[in-house]
Amino acid sequence: MSPIIPRKMDTFRTFYDFSELKAYLKNERAGQSIGLVPTMGALHEGHLSLVKKAHVENDVVVVTIFVNPKQFNNQTDLKKYPRTIEKDLELLSEFKNVLICTPNERAVYPKNDPYKPVDLGRLNEVLEGKYRPGHFDGVAHVVHNFFHFIQPNRAYFGLKDYQQFAVIKKMTRQSNLKVELVGCETIRNKSGLALSSRNQHLNNKELEDTLVIINTLNFIKENQRKYNIVELKENAIAHFKKSPLILEYLEIVDSESFEKLERIGPNSVCCIAAYCGEVRLIDNIAL
Ligand code: PAF
């Protein structure tokens, strides 16, 4: 990694493994609250909003940057995942009391791996669980190990990945970890597209095409009382299919169990996954 940031600055430091980070937290930050923002890098305003929130609520913020191979069920996707470490460090250098951890695979998954696989149940079988087999096992594993090695008081996740947040809640409960999980609202661009590291692969025309996602979600929310759930989905899907995007799924589910619903209730969420060219996008709206 290029040493563009002075490593000895007190409030902004980069660590390359957990033992160094743990020693620093224990010796120089003893008794301070730790907020964790796990990322795969390619940072954008969405990530920065998590860092800002963590910064307000904790004495020190740890941002991990690690492209986790275990959560990619598609090797091409893993290879293509944007890696912009210098820009990431520059963006984070704006913050005080931020520690960056860029561990390698060996540090995250040591021989003596502390993870005991959890049972994700239906979460692993529906929506993202169905279309990205193994993905959530990889997410649960990596987040567990971050929690184990860093022992944060709070951890921050964007709710664009709504099902991921449910998976992390389940893993945390089953693994008996004492960390407060904070789900943070989705940050969107001016047109309403949810920010994602993958958006950098979209050209201007594709960026415009993606507007069908937010329009469809808004249609569902605005018309949820006008139609029954079957008609509502049919109308929304028909509208979506007029766009160049390829819809993978549009479902209205319970926000905890992710079971499909026959009627919209207070804990309903509509989730969409679609391809815009080669880029897979997801989004959701609470109903
Ligand atoms: O949402 C992400 O960026 C990743 O899935 C996470 C939580 C950092 C785990 O690798």
What was the pLDDT predicted at 17? 87
What was the pLDDT predicted at 10? 54
What's the angle, vertex CA 237, arms to CA 234 and CA 240, rounded to 5? 150
Round to whole Å and give the CA distance between 195 and 189: 6
Instruction: Retrieve residue 166's tokens.
Output: 């449910």
32 contacts 62 by C-beta, under 8 angstroms: no
Residues in contact with 121: Cβ distance below 8 Å, sequence separation at least 6, in sequence order: 170
Grouping H, G, I as helix, E, B as strand and the rest as coil, residue 226 is coil
Please name each of the domains of the chain with its CATH number: 12-184 (3.40.50.620), 197-286 (3.30.1300.10)
Output the residue whose Cα is nearest ligand 1's atom 5. 139
Query: What is the position in ligand 1's atom list of the atom closest to the CA of 39?
Result: 8
Buried b (16+ CB within 10 A) or exposed e, 133-166: eebbbbbbbbbbbbbebbebbbbbbbbbbbbbbb
Round to whole Å and give the CA distance between 268 and 57: 29
189 contacts 161 by C-beta, under 8 angstroms: no
Q: Which strand (E) or helix (H) includes residue 106?
A: helix 105-108
What was the pLDDT predicted at 230? 97
Q: What is the DSSP letter of 121?
A: G
Q: Is 139 in the pocket of ligand 1 (CB under 6 A)?
A: yes
Round to whole Å and give the CA distance between 188 and 199: 11
Q: Is 40 in the pocket of ligand 1 (CB under 6 A)?
A: yes
HSE value, Cβ hemisphere, 13 Å, CA-based, for 243: 23
Residue of 164, 169, 182, 283 to mutate, ligand 1, most atoms within 8 A of C-beta:
164
Active site includes 135?
A: no
Q: What's this model's pTM, rounded to 2 decimal places?
A: 0.94
Grouping H, G, I as helix, E, B as strand and the rest as coil, residue 194 is strand
What was the pLDDT predicted at 160? 97
Residues of the chain with pLDDT under 70: 1-11
Q: Which strand (E) or helix (H) includes residue 208?
A: helix 204-209
Q: What is the DSSP letter of 261?
A: -
Q: What's the first-to-final CA gap in the chain, in angstroms? A: 44
What was the pLDDT predicted at 4? 44
Amino acid sitting at position 184: C
Q: Which strand (E) or helix (H) includes residue 268?
A: strand 268-276
Q: Is 161 in the pocket of ligand 1 (CB under 6 A)?
A: yes
